Each structure stands twice: as C-alpha cells, then as structure tokens.
C-alpha cells in the first residue's frame, strides 16, 4: 500500500481525532490509518477491560503515546460525550451496535445508536475545537439490494424503508441488524459533516485473536467451515465490497481534504457475493476445503464510485484494492502466509 499523502489538510497532523467503536474492524483500520498519517487518536470502546488489547495493538504499530483508549459504555448516557470530545479537532463515528449475531432487541439498538449519535453531534456543536465530523452509514441507507435487479444509485438516493425494516418483527434478526444505518441529514452544523456509506467491508483483521471482525470475520468463518458464520452468510445479499484499508483512507480523506463538505461517499470498490468469495478461495487455495455456497445472483446496481476514488487518490492511493487481494490479506491476517 502506498504511503499516505495529505495536501493542505484542514486538520493538521498531530491533532487529536476521536474514533468511536475503535475495537471493531472498520474503526480499528480508521485509527490505524490516522496514526500512520501522523494524527493522534482517542478511541472509544464499551468496556475497557474487554478491550485492553487495543492500546498495545496500536502502540506496537505506531508511536507510543499517540493513541488513547476511553470507555463509553452507554452511547446515550447524559454527559458521556464532553470528556470524549475535549480538545479533539475531528470526529469519526462508527456505529457500534450493528452486531449481526446480537440477541439484543433491534429497537433498543436503534434507540441507543440514534440518541447517542445526536448527543455526540450536540456535544461537537458546543465544542469550538471540532472542525470536521465523518459519520458511518451504509450502502443499505441508500437502497435494499435485490440481486439481478438493475438500479442506479446517486449521492442523494435514500432508503426510506430502513426504519420500517428495523421495527418489523417479521424480519429476521440477522437482516435487521443492518437497518439502523439509516440516512442521516444534519442541518447547519458548526463543523463540516460528511458520511461514508461502505459496502461489505473485508480486509486484514488487525488483532485476529481478539476481534470478531464483522464481515471479515465471516470470511474467517467460511474458511473454517464455521456453522454459525455459514448460517449468517446466507443473509448477506450480493452487494459491493470495499477493502478495510481503502475504506479507512476514504474516511481520512473525508475528514481532512479541503472542499469535501456535506457529501455522501459510497465505499464501493467492486461487486461481490459470498458464493463468489467461496469460489475465489477454492481457486486460490486448492488444498483447502472451503465450503461451496449456492449461487444467489449478482448485484447489478450502478453506484457513484467516481468521487470516492478521486478522494482515495488524493491521499496517495491510485486504485481500489481488488477483492481477491483483500481476501488473501484477510486469510493471512489470521493464518499467516499460505502457499497457493
């Protein structure tokens, strides 16, 4: 991966950036890229004891002292955000409750997530140091992917069904887990505000012994023929994918690049499906018994990918990381180097 290049960033390297949910796949890579670019990072987790591995991870990869870990157990608890936001120049908020294996009622997840998010925004509005906020949405906030159904998605496409799906008890829990990533519209903030809408995120798991790693964890589950992962994978529709490192750099660009304001940036590198992932892994590692998955169609949606790629290039990366390379790097993050 090419070194990060920043040109006249609106937030100077050395500044403090808040990253929520930093123990997760997406947020851990965001913190990793911020630290690599010379920023200091304050990361939040729900439980400091369970996430005690996070600080040693980043101190082993970057300069000690540049990363700080704090606990935010309840995102909506009154008064929880001012200490977290103190002295920060930028905020990247990564939803923490979209655990597709969670048994917590979805309505509770949605309520806490939304209340916590707006409490964080309110705190940022009252904090003079905050210049830029980047919110984690999802491509699901734009539309519900339906295989083999042509559609054109633009920056202003919103999924009005997302909230209805989240509250519908007839929808399986694994599908409803994604619905809280609803469209967010913020009017007249004191800081600039952008949203990233990633597709399915796959990429190296930074701490494979500690992180479940969400959809990258599903790749691990597929590799290991894990029944629980295989059951969940059935609910993951054909979609677009983005490598976790590319995704993190897109956040970095949205946070710091001049002229990026009020944008919805779709993190979509190429189309993918888990049956395709299974096929690619069997071809790349013929000695490994990877389960064959039933073909469930293909995503034929046209996505607005030009602007995100432009911003990726603005921070020093020429092209998206391809799916096969991302899969290999994911496997090697928990298995080590494997001969194809």
Spans of all domains in the chain: 16-204+240-270+302-320
Q: What is the pTM of this model?
A: 0.90
Phi and psi for 289 in degrees, rounded to 5?
Answer: -85, 90
What are the beta bridge partners of residue 194? 134
User: What was the pLDDT predicted at 187?
Assistant: 62
CA–CA gap between residue 126 and residue 123 (Å, rounded): 5
Instruction: Give the CATH number of domain 16-204+240-270+302-320.
Output: 3.40.50.720
| Amino acid 123: pLDDT | 93
Instruction: Identify the pLDDT of residue 49.
Output: 97
Instruction: Write down the pLDDT at residue 143.
Output: 82
pLDDT for the residue numbered 179: 39
Contact yes or no for 179/163 (Cβ under 8 A): yes
Q: Strand 40-45 relative to strand 67-71: parallel, antiparallel, unpaired?
A: parallel
Residue with tokens 């970095």: 252
Residue 86's pLDDT is what?
A: 97
pLDDT computed for residue 48 by the predictor: 97
Instruction: Yes or no: say if 6 and 30 are a contact pair by the CB < 8 Å rule.
Output: no
Could you read off the pLDDT tens digit of each residue along the chain, which spans 340 residues? 778 989 999 999 999 999 999 999 999 999 999 999 999 999 999 999 999 999 999 999 999 999 999 999 988 899 999 999 999 999 999 965 444 444 555 456 667 777 888 889 889 999 889 999 999 988 887 888 889 999 999 888 877 665 565 555 544 444 444 333 444 555 677 899 999 999 999 999 999 999 878 889 999 999 999 999 999 998 888 999 999 999 999 999 999 999 999 999 999 999 999 999 999 999 999 999 999 999 999 999 999 999 999 999 999 999 999 999 999 999 999 998 776 5
Q: State the number of CA atoms in the 13 A half-sphere of 329 facing the CB.
A: 16
The DSSP code for 260 is -
pLDDT at 68: 98
Q: Which of 23, 17, 63, 12 is nearest to 46 (CA)?
A: 23
How far apart are the C-alpha atoms of 145 and 298, rounded to whole Å? 10
Tell me the sheet residues that pair with 201: 242
Q: Give the whole-angstrom CA distance, residue 304 versus residue 171.
A: 29
CA 17, 20, 22 angle in degrees (round to 5)? 95
Report angle CA 304, 188, 186 to the nearest 5 degrees: 50
Please give the pLDDT value at position 145: 84
CA distance 258 to 7: 9
Angle at 18 between CA 303 and CA 52, to 5 degrees: 110
Cβ neighbours for 103, distance < 8 A, ≥ 6 positions apart: 173
């Amino acid at each position: 991966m090419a070194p990060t290049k920043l040109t006249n960033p609106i937030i100077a390297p050395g500044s403090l950036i808040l990253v929520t949910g930093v123990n997760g796949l997406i947020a851990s890579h965001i913190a990793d890229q911020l630290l690599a670019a010379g920023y200091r990072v304050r990361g939040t987790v729900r439980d400091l004891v369970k996430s005690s591995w996070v600080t040693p991870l980043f101190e082993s990869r970057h300069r000690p002292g540049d990363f700080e870990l704090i606990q935010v157990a309840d995102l909506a608890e009154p008064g929880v955000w001012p200490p977290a936001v103190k002295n920060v120049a930028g905020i990247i908020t990564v939803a923490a409750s979209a655990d597709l294996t969670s048994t917590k009622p979805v309505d509770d997840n949605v309520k806490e997530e939304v209340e916590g998010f707006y409490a964080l925004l309110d705190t940022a509005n009252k904090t003079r140091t905050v210049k830029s906020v980047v919110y984690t949405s999802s491509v699901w906030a734009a539309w519900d992917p339906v295989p083999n159904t042509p559609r054109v998605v633009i920056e202003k496409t919103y999924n009005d069904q997302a909230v209805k799906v989240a509250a519908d008890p007839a929808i399986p829990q694994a599908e409803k887990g994604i619905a809280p990533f609803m469209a967010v519209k913020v009017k007249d903030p004191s800081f600039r505000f952008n949203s990233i809408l990633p597709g399915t995120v796959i990429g190296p798991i930074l701490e494979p012994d500690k992180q479940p790693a969400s959809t990258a964890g599903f790749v691990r589950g597929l590799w290991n023929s894990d029944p629980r992962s295989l059951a969940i994978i059935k609910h993951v529709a054909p979609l677009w994918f983005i490598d976790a490192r590319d995704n993190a750099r897109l956040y970095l660009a949205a946070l710091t690049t001049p002229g990026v304001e009020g944008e919805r940036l779709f993190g979509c590198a190429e189309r993918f499906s888990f049956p395709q992932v299974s096929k690619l892994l069997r071809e790349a590692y013929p000695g490994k018994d990877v389960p064959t998955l039933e073909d469930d169609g293909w995503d034929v949606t046209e996505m607005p990918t030009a602007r995100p790629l432009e911003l990726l290039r603005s921070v020093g990366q020429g092209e998206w990381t391809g799916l096969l390379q991302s899969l290999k790097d994911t496997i090697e993050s928990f298995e080590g180097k494997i001969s194809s």
